Amino acid sequence: MRNPPSKPWGVKTRAIHAGEHVDPVTRASSPNLVMSVTFAPEEVAGFSARNRGDYEGFLYARVSNPTVKQLEDKLAALEGAEACQCFASGMAASMGLIVGRLSMGDHLIISEANYVGTAELVRDSLPRLGLEVSPVDTSDPAAVAAAIRPNTKMLWIETPANPIMRLSDIAALSKLAREHGIRDVVVDSTFATPIATRPLELGADFVLHSLTKYIGGHGDALGGAVVGRKEDIAALNLESAVHYGGVLSPFNAWLILRGAATLPIRMKAHEETAMRVAQFLETHPRVKRVFYPGLPSHPQHELAKRQMANFSGMLTFTADDGPALARRMVEKLNVVHYAVSLGHHRSLVYWIPTDAIMRSSFRLEGEALARYRAYAGDGVFRFSVGLEDADDICADLDQVL
């Protein structure tokens, strides 16, 4: 046994070494890709995940797999969590967490504008399962307080929120939830990553990531993860992984492990380049507004400084005649890809028209719609600033603007 470190590892060391170990048989230094579905126990062990007795080894890949486990241990270490459960995608993680934790008649409060997949899931699928859902503006703690019911079991925050980069105060909302006996505070921290924000330290119970984005970082593997307390994650493993079955493939875990190792240095570069691009856009005559948490012009810049140790690489901007600009982007961009998704080494941009996203996903009306339009107007360009040279990204944008 080697000596344990004399003080806790820094985040860069954790990103590289946490969860990983030298293979005891081959002495391989990099994580092994273990594709085996079943494992030969050294004793007569239980026959299901619920009946495994004291046997701690691997039994079946839907319960746990050695490559996925290394990623889970790394993610837990990065978030300062006791445990982690990986899923096949961010949406599998969201569904696993919501349906794994809530029962018919329970009430969920969730950001009124957030990732569209989540927005559609909670509005269309959950009511069908007998769950009550209230989409509210979670950037306003008073609005959250007003929505709390006796059966509110979960508060779901996404910050910064897709696609308008609106922030929610995790510490204030966690405190509010505690005071009202809401059992689960969940933070979808996909845009922030553990490099910017560690929600558990601010009072949250669960943190959710789409690993497809910054943590994998290279646009070649879908994945999702939930971190939290050991007993909660063990229950999630039994219910949502073992029974619902949407677990992460070992191959994707292996790719995401490699991506996660460079997360801290990538996030630093994403932030630096995003700041340059945000400043370029903010002074461009054809751009109306830029929303980037790192800019003093962001309506919640003070909260961003308090809650985010890194401003990440996501920004949103509005411009005159969005549809025509989107068309020029599709036809003319060289460096930046006109494509959905985010957090990859490549820069990605996409046009999100307000009317269309209201119909398909958010369905906001009245004041809520006015709040959204105050950010987005007729539509936003969601821009995931990649790791290319800032000058090349700005030149590419300039030729289409």
Ligand X SMILES: *Cc1c(COP(=O)(O)O)cnc(C)c1O
Near ligand X in 186-215, by CB under 6 A: 188, 190-191, 210, 212-213
Q: Which is nearer to ligand X, 165 or 222 (CB)?
A: 222
Nearer to ligand X, 115 or 291 (CB): 115
162 versus 354: smaller Cβ distance to ligand X: 162
Interface segment toward ligand X; rule CB under 6 A; list 56-64, 110-118, 125-133, 302-310: 110-118
Do residues 37 and 61 lie in contact, with contact meaning Cβ atoms separated by under 8 Å?
yes
Site for ligand X contains 162 (CB under 6 A): yes
Q: How many CB atoms lie within 10 A of CB 62?
A: 16
What are the C-alpha distances in Å from 13 to residues 10, 27, 72, 353? 5, 20, 16, 42
Angle in degrees, CA 227, 217, 93, rounded to 5: 30
> In the 8-state DSSP scheme, what is residue 125?
I
Question: Do 217 and 344 meet the contact criterion of CB atoms below 8 Å apart?
Answer: yes
The residue range among 34-42, 184-192, 258-266, 358-366 that interacts with ligand X, by the rule CB under 6 A, is 184-192
Asked if 224 is part of the footprint of ligand X (rule: CB under 6 A), the reply reads yes
Write down the residue that tokens 């081959």 correspond to. Answer: 26
Strands 287-291 and 206-210: unpaired
Binding residue for ligand X, selected from 84, 221, 222, 255, defined by CB under 6 A? 222
- Which residues, other chains included, contact 364 with Cβ-Cβ below 8 Å and sequence gap of 6+? 112, 113, 135, 358, 371, 372
Q: Which is nearer to ligand X, 219 or 224 (CB)?
A: 224
Q: Should residue 113 be labelled a site residue for ligand X when binding is judged by CB under 6 A? A: no
Residue 100 has which token pair? Answer: 């794994």
Q: How far is CA 152 from the centre of its chain?
A: 23
Nearer residue to ligand X within complex by CB, 111 or 174: 111
The sheet carrying 348-353 orders its strands as 287-291, 314-319, 379-384, 348-353, 337-338
**Interface mask toward ligand X for 287-326; x: CB under 6 A:** ----------------------------------------
Helices (H), 262-314: 263-282, 301-307
Site residues for ligand X, window 89-108 (CB under 6 A)? 89-91
Position 259 contacts ligand X (CB under 6 A):
no
- Annotate each residue in 36-65 with x if it binds ligand X (CB under 6 A) or - if it does not, as one string: ------------------------------
Place of tokens 């209201």: 358
Which x/- pattern, by CB under 6 A, does the window 8-37 give for ligand X? ------------------------------
Using the minimum distance from each CB to ligand X, give the nearer residue, 222 or 357: 222
Q: Does the protein bind ligand X through residue 384 (CB under 6 A)?
A: no
Number of alpha carbons in the 13 Å side-chain half-sphere of residue 136: 21
Site residues for ligand X per CB under 6 A: 89-91, 115, 117-118, 158, 162, 188, 190-191, 210, 212-213, 222, 224
